[in-house]
Structure 1
Amino acid sequence: MKRTSFGRATASSRHAFALRTTVAALAGAGLISSATVGAQEIAAAGTPAATPADAVVLVTGTRQAAQSAQTIKRNAEQVVDSIVADDIGKFPDKNVAEILGRVPGVQVIRQGGEAGNVVIRGLGGITTLYNGREMFTAAGRSLFLADVPVAMLQRVDVYKSQGADMVEGGTSGVIDVRTNRPFDFKGQQTAINVRAEHRDKADKIDPNVSGMLSNRWKSAIGEIGLLGGLSYQRGRYHDETAFVGEPREIDRGIMGAPSMGRVMSGGDRERLAGNLSAQWRPSRDLEVYAESFSTRIEHDSQSIFFVGDLPINNPASTVTAISGTNYLESISNPMVNTFTLSSTQARRDMSEGHQGAIGAIWKPVDGVRVSSELVRTVSKYTQKNPILDTIRNAAKPISASVRDGGGYLTYPGVDMTDPGPWTMFAMFDNHNRSRGAATDWRGDVSWVPEADGFIKEVSGGARIAERFASYVHELGNYAAAPDQWGPGAIKVAGFQGLNCTSPATGGNYGMNQFYAPCADFLLNNTGVIRQAIRGDSSPRPDDPLSYYADREKTQAIYAKLNFGFDAWTLPIDGTLGARYVKTKQTISGYSSNNGVVSPTTVSSTTSDVLPSLSMRAHFRQDLMGRLSASKAIERAPFGDFNPGLVLFPSTTTTLATGTAGNPHLKPQEARNVDVALEWYFAPAGSLTGTLFHHKYENYLRRTARPEVHDGATYNVSRPYNAVSGNLKGAELAYQQFYTFLPGWLSGLGAQANFTYMDGGLAEADGTINTFAGMSRRSANLVGLYEYGKWSARLAYSWRDRFTAEYNYRGTPHAIVVDPLKTLDASISYKLTDNLTITLDGSNLLDQAYHDYHTVPELPRDVRRYDRVVGLALRWRN
């Protein structure tokens, strides 16, 4: 064997050996099918390999999962971080969004009983894929990650750079959710997971049940594999918020808010999901597969608002300021009739999504691989959302103050839960629905030359996709109750089943409970409330100005070259590629001109060239440098193109506002560069550092600006393309298992990562703001343990403060969020070789979400979420 001056194999022979080693490791972990193994071995050696069906061995455990994730990162063409299942369907968290909170540079927000909102490097420009294919919800462009049950997952890949062969979209990253296939297992495989979880604030115990059955057979027509999975989840949750209104000068030169209140949210969410996968290999050179995924979510929820106006500018009120400032500390009045509102927003949501795919992989001759796939995706979403405002129009004592970064509000000596004094004030009769469907086809071909030279592989392909999305909501939702302030006001006590009490608060915000209209009554007897307020029990018609139908046709082709060479004695390999994308969009909707509603259609065509380059320098067998540069685009959400304008006139409780789209939006563009140094000192031990820089053009921001329509001024929210933006930063990650320690201590391991980011947007007026939602610093520290029958995990996540919103509700104030800290844990014990019991907990610190208007002395919200504890039994053969 030829040697270099370092005493190692040449780049070409080492490339083939390293790739075969990687393939063997991934197959052993059950991460890729044997069809993929064969294709990778062709890429490595240029010759077909024997089908390793009998050599696939499922390896499980926390340490093996960490090792497999590290192997994926090390050998990927792009900058990627992965989380791999410890065992079939066994992840340290219960949904995909919570899993991703452990990845360097990824941050999540929890609400509604779970983690849901995900950002990569502080930004939300993310595309989600399901087994490498586009997946979405109704009129949205991406899959809601919390809707994917972890029981079906094999791994989750987070791409921070993109290659030419990847589906375009996602200026900040791509999240690919990967599920199991039958050829991932040696033979029959069965797994059943039964879990019960308790949420402390909701005080409910809910089930989580999932199962998977997979098998493969050799037959006269070749090898056949079938896999099916089913998951059911129920989650009843409780979130609570104590809020303070927008700041202004309220009394005697003191800055404060004219109101304080509560938002008590809760819900009952049920998710049912199923997946099927079939593989057929009639010969060593051909594989045909079919897959499907379906999910249905039924979700009843409520948000109970309490708004108490403060007795400002009243000579009888006692007002104090925080020492040394002119910010409000407390205000009280012995008897005053300020506006007092209790409102229940009831919601009944139903969402369905279905995707089916059929494809084939064929190796017609040595070194050539051809694949093709056809995908159909459909989705629908409906929501019923009646809102009833009620008021307590009577004089009462009031005491309020700013305490512990939040609002404290109480009415001494008054029973605020008594429905007797409460009357109907107004109704908002809301509904909406959206539909989505897509058909896409892609074909790919790759060629590995026999001669081992500079060119390692040449590949190319094409994709054609057509996507349809539509949305509509109600017309004229607001109706004021008759005689709102007079003696003829409608008393709520006369409606049996309407009168409820809000849930008790977990924190001390003053008044603990209050009267609230019952959400179930509003959902199931909406016609009764309509009749009482409007004299008509029928629902509101659709608003044509809210309707849009967007048809988007995309054509893409790409070419990619994998290369390798020695720069003097330094082995270098990499990938150079480009993707050309042409998008034609036709948006139909309605516009209003002087009160005349007429249909309108806007069409546009855009073309983009997306180059990409990725290179790796192998300084040593365990030390690698990486450079990745690429251009990415992200199309705006479909609703942002809606040409229609919807106006909401001012009411007693709301300002005159409007919402509209912008059919002339350009795709957002990002030019991303990553430079990394990666040291892999053990099979599951690594230290990596990455510097990154993203430059954005046409960045999308939604901004509310005053507009005059029919002589009235409305604060209209529209999306706009900002001028430009920059984001730069660094990521540092460490992972190790301390196997050198004696005895039971050898089961200890740790994962740690830290991310620093800096950057912002240059708006059209020249103002530069940091990215909304971006924390400059974030970190994760995870302690791991696996020894004998025991395994455990303790995970701490922290993110620095961030600005959530600029010019909040048209004011000069920004909403700033204090640092967030979460602690999750799990511990497992193997009762038998097949049966494992797990105890886990999330949000163990009961961290409060706290934000404020620009300065901490002007708080907005204190939010608290459920602490969740779960107990699970998992069986697999």
Structure 2
Amino acid sequence: MTLHVFAPRNAVVLSCVSPRKRGLVIACGFALLASAAAQAQEVATTDSAQTLDKVVVTGIRHSIETSVETKSEATSIVEAVSAEDIGKLPDISIADSIARLPGIATQRVDGRSQVVNIRGMSEQFVGTTLNGREQVSTGDSRGVELDQYPAELINAVTVYKTPDAALIGQGLSGTVDLQTIRPLEYGERRIVVSGSGEKNSFGDLSADSSDTGYRASASYVDQFANDTVGVAIGIARLDSPFQEKHYKAWWWADTDAWGAPQDGKPAGAVALQGSEGWIKSHELKRDGVMGVVEFKPNDTWHSILDLYYSRFDQDENMHGAMWTNDPWWNADENGVGAVSYSNIVTTDVDGVPVITRGVLNGVQPVVRNDNNTRDDKLYAAGWANTFTWGSWSLLADLNYSKAEREQSTLETYAGLLGPQSIGFELSPGQGFNQYALPDLSDPSSVHLWDPQMWGHDGRLENSRQEDEIKAARLQLTHQMENSDWMRSYDVGVNLNRRTKEKVSQTYFADLLNDRAPATVDPALLMSPTSLGFVGMGNLLSYNARDLLSRYYDVRLSESNDDLRKDFTVDEDVDTFYLRANLDMDLTERVRLRGNAGVQYVHTEQSSTGFNATSDAIVGAQTLGASYGDILPSLNLVADFGDGWMVRFGAAKEMMRPPINYLSADSSASVSEITNEWSGGGGNPLLEPYRANSADISFEKYMGPASYIALALFYKDLESYIYQDNMPWDFSGYDPDGKTPISDFGTFYTWKNGTGGYMRGVEVSTTLAGDLFSDALTGFGLQLNGSYTESSIDPDGPDLGSSTDTIPGLSKVVANATFYYENHGFAARISERYRDKYRGEYSSLFGQRQYRYTLSEKTVDLQLSYDFAETSRLSGLSLLFQVNNLNNEPFRTEASESTGTGIFLPEEYTEYGRQYLIGFSYKM
């Protein structure tokens, strides 16, 4: 007899975020105490209860119960997310699902969740594996961009917060393991197809944008040959529109302090030195394929072949206006700038006068029409074979991972031919500022040319990047059948060979006829784009690539910064490990389990890059380093019965430096005056971040879908990597015809230095309504909050920091989910909150930049209905979903540049709401 209990597929989040950040954690703590009091109402299981052969639970109950079981049964301190049904994580984004876990936050890029930060540390400190195998990244360093992995093809995610000696590719902050389905474990045939339409609330913001898209997926799982062969296949297609309304203040300063006053500007007043506004549309297309073949003909041999492929294409169009109005722009021979002020009004900000209203005179706004394309391909394959004889087993695993990225960024410039006056009204707080610009949409008066005097009329950069891992693993396991304290032990080795290569070319586009300004053929124009949200009016708009061959002469032109983008980094990482799996009865009531082990990790790294002068390559170089680390780890779980557990973890950890830090690129030369070497660039000699950590977690489990937990963690980073001048051996560099007085000089680069602590507290609970009363059956609540702090100075221990956090550190992170599911109906509302933090983003011309990102509260909503088994539509589910329900903006701020100590708004960007309506059908 089989009883199917069908619960709705989707659940919902309610935030415990309050304006007072520490109060948020306290509030969550009170929620935990309240749930503990509810233990008295647990429903006892009676002997008269009917025994059923099998209960199949799907939907949110299945997801929560599986996740809670994973957490409770783990020997490490972990968090888990499980699919509600085959190929269905609770969110449409893997990053969103992970970011709902305690102590974890997501970083939004272009309006979507892309990478995660664990316990206050950026994505560069996070290890990511697929079925236990280290993954490459499509970005320029180690941080894996999770939007490359369709949620429809991932069955579960486990986040390890404490190290395990047998876990390969571990991160310093944590390790995210993505897991695909195991068809023999699933145990039945299942076919699922789903589809949904998608719409952005902004509508079509420009003539070349789209506000509609779709998602579609199909999965098939089956078993053959008396359940000795299992097959799982999944495909997923995404065609998603993302749009944004963007404003940014370039920088703020009182230029009087630098001896550069401007006409009409009050003495000592802080002024905005440049602005930009734009509309940007992204068309994202992603195709994902997952395949698993599992073969277990007997108890001796078990073989699993995993295959994964993803292709992610992004076509981005931007239409905007921008300008500089600093005192040095277009200055005459006496250093007097072209821009002046009139009708000025100032506002007091923390005792400092800030110009917030007036008119800028002599400005020449540039109209930008840009197009950026990106084509990412991700491959992963793994073949694991386990051979078992008696109490011994041998795992042999071969795996391969490769990422390719081809990227092209094109920008073109246009504008009115003469200086302009711009009225402005700024807010010292967050929001869209307002500007009054002349008409920038008239085809007869807006010309293609270089209004901002950048020295070229357009710029094109093409880059190619490839990241590849080849790895092999052997693990011998022995089951200790007669031991009173050890369940088993593992001895293993993992050999990993990784190569990351990047090549970039930069071109300048100059207008034909000696860069003479030109008007655009009306046949090539599209409808003007409105920047009314910032008062900038309409803009002349066109497809930049359509004009490239017709109006421009494109020539290769690379500065030393461009030349230095080319690099190759090789890493050979050999990991040897021993792990004892512990299981013993300390008393009649207390059971102790866990593991104790040690890794020895030997690393050889090298990089080949260029030494570039101002406009030429004067030599290539290959540099590298070799080092070894002994990493002991201990994980213990004391099970006191009745659901009470205490977990303890202690370990020595390490994380290799970000790959782009290891580039051998440099710009170095011999001074013509002192004949001494100096330069700057990457550092292939870097050693890892190293830390000692301790964790403790107090947990109470109350049935299959309810628990409360309080966790404390502490990391002592013995080393941290920051930028500084350091002595450098230039003997491998080309002096370009000069004779240095020594091979040694100074080099500005990344270097190893002292670190500091990371510490924090996490509280979390999952509560089913029937834990309190039968009247609340179907209701549920998930809450978690964390507080994290650090003593690490991100700019180095001796330099004095202009920032107060390391990248990725939000002191307060909180999530809440409130859901209801019963009789086929499900509703879920979710909110994620993260405190302000120092984020790392791609910046101008592909460089990396740290920016002060303000707090975010993102709300999502899901409604669904599953038709009952007795219905003629059995197996069909309907879904309505809204992502970013509150249209939460992305906000950053910048410190004023002349030492006043005040912070002023920098970027304010809105992405709109994403509406989805769709279905899922399972057979």
TM value normalised by structure 1: 0.84
1:326 corresponds in structure 2 to 352
2:782 corresponds in structure 1 to 751
2:656 corresponds in structure 1 to 635
- CA deviation digits over 1:182-228, x for unaligned, max 9? 11322221011111111112541211000011111125xx7111111
* Separation of aligned partners in 2, 1:450 and 1:750: 42
Higher RCO (CA 8 Å, separation ≥ 6 residues): 2
2:199 corresponds in structure 1 to 198
Return the letter of the residue paired with 1:328: V
1:759 Cα deviation after fit? 0.5
1:209 aligned onto 2:216: yes
Return the letter of the residue paired with 2:915: V
1:583-598 to structure 2, matched below 5 A, reads 583-592=603-612, 597-598=618-619
1:829 Cα deviation after fit? 0.3
* Separation of aligned partners in 2, 1:63 and 1:750: 12
1:305 Cα deviation after fit? 4.4
**Structure 1 contact 793–826 (Cα < 8 Å) conserved:** yes
Match of 2:699 among 653, 659, 678: 678
- CA deviation digits over 1:642-671, x for unaligned, max 9? 212369xxxxxxxxxx98322121111232
* Separation of aligned partners in 2, 1:540 and 1:211: 48
1:15 corresponds in structure 2 to none
- Tell me which moved more, 830-839 or 206-215: 830-839
1:840 Cα deviation after fit? 0.9
Change (3 A) 1:764 1:828: same
1:560 corresponds in structure 2 to 579
**Structure 2 contact 285–314 (Cα < 8 Å) conserved:** yes
1:363 corresponds in structure 2 to 388
* Separation of aligned partners in 1, 2:176 and 2:518: 52
Return the letter of the residue paired with 1:752: L
Match of 2:407 among 370, 383, 393: 383
1:862 corresponds in structure 2 to 908
**Structure 1 contact 370–444 (Cα < 8 Å) conserved:** yes
1:279 corresponds in structure 2 to 294
1:233 corresponds in structure 2 to 238
Find the residue that maps to 1:88 and give its secondary structure: coil
Find the residue that maps to 2:147 and give its secondary structure: helix
RMSD between aligned residues: 3.3
* Separation of aligned partners in 2, 1:693 and 1:857: 31
1:258 aligned onto 2:270: no
- CA deviation digits over 1:235-290, x for unaligned, max 9? 12112221112111152221121222214322111000101110111112321121
* Separation of aligned partners in 1, 2:637 and 2:560: 60
1:521 aligned onto 2:522: no
Change (3 A) 1:703 1:113: farther
**Structure 1 contact 551–587 (Cα < 8 Å) conserved:** yes
- CA deviation digits over 1:325-365, x for unaligned, max 9? 433243433x8331311223321111111112212112211
- CA deviation digits over 1:399-434, x for unaligned, max 9? 11222424524226x322223233321221211001
**Structure 1 contact 140–638 (Cα < 8 Å) conserved:** yes
Return the letter of the residue paired with 1:493: V
1:288 corresponds in structure 2 to 303
1:189 aligned onto 2:190: yes
2:93 corresponds in structure 1 to 95
1:802 corresponds in structure 2 to 837
1:45 corresponds in structure 2 to none
Change (3 A) 1:396 1:344: same
1:566 Cα deviation after fit? 4.5
* Separation of aligned partners in 2, 1:747 and 1:585: 55
2:595 corresponds in structure 1 to 575
For structure 1, which runs of at least 5 residues remain unmatched after alignment? Answer: 1-54, 648-657
Change (3 A) 1:191 1:85: same
Return the letter of the residue paired with 1:421: V
**Structure 1 contact 583–605 (Cα < 8 Å) conserved:** yes
Find the residue that maps to 2:777 and give its secondary structure: helix
1:444 corresponds in structure 2 to 475
* Separation of aligned partners in 2, 1:736 and 1:582: 45
1:537 Cα deviation after fit? 10
* Separation of aligned partners in 2, 1:704 and 1:373: 44
**Structure 2 contact 663–683 (Cα < 8 Å) conserved:** yes
Find the residue that maps to 2:520 and give its secondary structure: helix
Return the letter of the residue paired with 2:645: M
Change (3 A) 1:745 1:355: same
**Structure 2 contact 462–504 (Cα < 8 Å) conserved:** yes
Find the residue that maps to 1:761 and give its secondary structure: coil
- Tell me which moved more, 853-862 or 101-110: 853-862
1:835 corresponds in structure 2 to 876
- CA deviation digits over 1:107-157, x for unaligned, max 9? 112232421131111212111111111121356435321111111121111
Find the residue that maps to 2:297 and give its secondary structure: strand
1:737 aligned onto 2:737: no
* Separation of aligned partners in 2, 1:541 and 1:526: 25
- Tell me which moved more, 136-145 or 274-283: 136-145
1:680 Cα deviation after fit? 0.8
* Separation of aligned partners in 2, 1:805 and 1:249: 27
- Tell me which moved more, 552-561 or 748-757: 552-561
* Separation of aligned partners in 1, 2:725 and 2:253: 19
Match of 1:242 among 230, 236, 247: 247
* Separation of aligned partners in 1, 2:877 and 2:611: 60
1:57 Cα deviation after fit? 7.1
For structure 2, which runs of at least 5 residues remain unmatched after alignment? Answer: 1-52, 205-210, 256-264, 328-336, 451-456, 669-678, 729-734, 739-746, 868-872, 896-900
**Structure 1 contact 805–816 (Cα < 8 Å) conserved:** no
Return the letter of the residue paired with 2:518: K
* Separation of aligned partners in 1, 2:317 and 2:749: 27
**Structure 2 contact 600–629 (Cα < 8 Å) conserved:** yes
Match of 1:600 among 617, 621, 625: 621
Aligned residues: 788
Change (3 A) 1:114 1:478: same
1:223 aligned onto 2:193: no
1:821 aligned onto 2:874: no
Match of 2:520 among 493, 502, 505: 493
1:14 corresponds in structure 2 to none
Change (3 A) 1:805 1:70: closer
- CA deviation digits over 1:467-491, x for unaligned, max 9? 122111115x34565899xxx7322
**Structure 2 contact 633–650 (Cα < 8 Å) conserved:** yes
1:398 aligned onto 2:451: no
- CA deviation digits over 1:612-666, x for unaligned, max 9? 001112233311111101222222233322212369xxxxxxxxxx983221211
Change (3 A) 1:246 1:483: farther
Return the letter of the residue paired with 2:920: R
* Separation of aligned partners in 1, 2:530 and 2:690: 46
2:151 corresponds in structure 1 to 150
1:665 aligned onto 2:686: yes
**Structure 2 contact 425–435 (Cα < 8 Å) conserved:** no
1:10 corresponds in structure 2 to none
* Separation of aligned partners in 2, 1:68 and 1:411: 57
2:17 corresponds in structure 1 to none
Return the letter of the residue paired with 1:868: Q
Find the residue that maps to 2:142 and give its secondary structure: coil
* Separation of aligned partners in 2, 1:76 and 1:276: 27
- Tell me which moved more, 419-428 or 551-560: 419-428
* Separation of aligned partners in 2, 1:581 and 1:183: 34
Return the letter of the residue paired with 2:110: G
- Tell me which moved more, 681-690 or 304-313: 304-313
Return the letter of the residue paired with 1:572: L
**Structure 1 contact 111–865 (Cα < 8 Å) conserved:** no
* Separation of aligned partners in 2, 1:659 and 1:391: 37
Change (3 A) 1:765 1:590: same
Return the letter of the residue paired with 2:156: R
**Structure 2 contact 319–539 (Cα < 8 Å) conserved:** no
TM value normalised by structure 2: 0.80
**Structure 1 contact 243–406 (Cα < 8 Å) conserved:** no
Change (3 A) 1:641 1:817: closer
